[in-house]
Amino acid sequence: MKLAVAFGVLASAFATALVAPEPPLTYRDVKPIFDKRCLSCHGADYPGGNLRVDSYAGIMKGGKHGKAVIAGKSPESRMMKMLKGTIQPRMPMDTPALPRAEMEKISNWIAQGANK
């Protein structure tokens, strides 16, 4: 009987963990993608389009066309348009497009408010 109760408690704890909403994505979640695929052209030495992605502040500041990331508005954000190629040149320039999972991660990060 005791065992059954303990099992019930465990099972409900599991259920809670499963339905608990995931915390919103933060800059830490997307930074590895920027570091790996964008930094070579968007760092201090060569900020392509005047955009630096080596810090949260740099990303949020934007580039020569203004804001690249509009918090909460992923489809409207220039960064997403360029990752998808609806604004040329497609990013990352001269290299294969980001895999879908990475594109979605950046898109969700922006949609969830581009949190630091």
Contact between 59 and 34 under an 8 Å Cβ cutoff? The reply is yes
| Cβ proximity of 92 and 49 under 8 Å | no
Q: Report in angstroms how near the CB of residue 17 gets to ligand HEC at its nearest.
A: 33
Q: Considering the complex, what minimum distance in angstroms separates the CB of residue 31 from ligand HEC?
A: 12
CB of 22 to ligand HEC, least distance (A): 23
Nearer CB in complex with ligand HEC: 25/91: 91
Token output for 47: 């900020």
**For tokens 């581009």, what's the residue?**
114
| Residues in touch with ligand HEC (CB under 6 A) | 37-38, 40-42, 48-49, 51, 62-65, 68, 78-79, 82, 89, 91-95, 98
Q: How far is the CB of 78 from ligand HEC (least distance, A)?
A: 5
Task: Report d(CA 76, CA 68) in Å as an integer.
Answer: 9
Burial of 49 (0-12, 13-18, 19+ CB in 10 A): middle
Would you say 6 or 104 has its CB closer to ligand HEC? 104
